[in-house]
Structure formats: C-alpha cells, structure tokens
Copies of this chain bind each other. A is one copy, B any other.
Amino acid sequence: MTIVSNPRQNHLLDALLASEYDRLSPDLHLVTLPLGQVLYESGEQLHYVYFPTTAIISMLYVMEDGASAEIAIVGNEGVLGISIFMGGDTTPSRAVVQSAGFGYRLKATLIKSEFNRAGPVQRLLLRYTQALITQMAQTAVCNRHHTVEQQLCRWLLLSLDRLASNELSMTQELIANMLGVRREGVTEAAKKLQEAGLIKYSRGKITVIDRPELEVLCCECYGVVKQEFDRLLPSLHGIAK
C-alpha cells in the first residue's frame, strides 16, 4: 500500500517555507485517529500538538452533569493544542476525534521551541489561533440565537470544509452531543433537510447533496467564520508555499 497521508495535506504545514518544514518534518509522526478517540482530557497536561490531515477533531466542554457543548472543530486547516504554545499547557476542554482519519503529531517541547524562534511559524500559528477564536466566539453567538436546524447546517458545512468528500460518518446521536442538544432534535432537523433534498442519510452516513442550498438555509455564523479563516490564512488556498 502506498502512503495515503502526507504532512503537507495539513494546510498549516503546507504553508511553511521549505527551511522550516524541513526542520520540523523529521519529528512529525503520522498517527491514525479513530472515531471517538480522546486526544486531550479536560485539565490534562498536553504532550503533543496534532496537525490533522484527513481527521477532524472536536473540542468540547463537558459539564459536571455530563452535558456537553462543542467549542470549536479542528481539521486539516489547523492544529490542535494551541494551549501548548500559548503558554497554558492545558485547557478545560476535551478533544475528541469527530471524524476518523490521519494526522501528524509533534512533541510539545518541539513546537514550543519552534514557536519561540518568533519567526514565520509563530506568526502563522498566531493567525490560526485568531481564526479559532472567531470560531469560538461565533459558536457562542450561534448557541444563543439560532435554531437547531440552522446550527446543524453550520456544523455540516464546517465539517465538510475539512473533508475531501461530501460524505460524513456521523450518527445523529454524536452530532447531538457536539451541538449540545437532544438527539431527537437533530433527527427532526436532519429529516427536514433530507425532505428538502439537501442531504441524504442513513445509519451514520450523511451525504450532502445540495451544498449551496445548505448555505442559504444556514445562519450567518458559518459565513463569518469561513471568511475570517480565509482572511487570516489565505495560504490555505495555495498563495504561499
């Protein structure tokens, strides 16, 4: 079998100059990320950053009573574990693999020393962090004002942007956990979308058929986040190599 994964599939790594990439690449280790794997537990010391290539990671906060809510998602556009270079070494949230796939991990000490060179890598990571902040802020807004249906659209679009295909492996139960709502609420919203011909789903597989229409039905939150990622990280579109 040939190599199915390559660090450059991650947009941040792909945006690095050759000199920096070559410095880091020997220490980037491929990891398989199965659905449901917990990469960080709340409050735990972080030992690695993860650069997803085909996997998607969900950052979520789990409350004392077990209820949860997603804070942000990280896919091939970014990196998981910003607290390491931000200086906190840990966060009160959990990180779980939301969509199985691959990623590359790098030891905390190594990303820290790279960050501390205060060069292009630092600038890139900080810009990404700001984009992530926008995503979190917009999640707060969306949770306050929008319906489950709108939030489902946002969630599907955000996930889709981080995948190669238009199909996601995801039960409604898991989506409900991410959004912090009842599973039945997701069922109803998904049914509506299916009846409208925007998606098709069955037992843990969701296929997006009409993406443009999904964007129409979605609240503005998706667009705000997307625009901000595009603005802050234009390299995601191959401008810088």
Closest chain B residue, CB of each to CB of A232: B88
Counting CB contacts under 8 A, is A17 at the interface?
Answer: no
Closest chain B residue, CB of each to CB of A70: B140
Binds B, one of A49-57, A60-68, A165-173: A60-68
Copy total for this chain? 2
* Contact across chains for A141 and B63 when beta carbons are under 8 A apart: yes
Complex Cα distance A232/B137, Å?
A: 20
Given A71-B137, A140-B140, output 13 extra A-B contacts at Cβ < 8 Å.
A61-B141, A63-B220, A86-B133, A87-B130, A88-B127, A88-B130, A88-B232, A91-B130, A92-B134, A92-B228, A116-B118, A136-B140, A144-B180
Give the interface of A toward B (CB within 8 A). 59, 61, 63-64, 67, 69, 71-72, 82-83, 85-88, 91-93, 116, 118, 122-123, 126-127, 129-134, 136-141, 143-145, 180, 220, 224, 228, 231-232
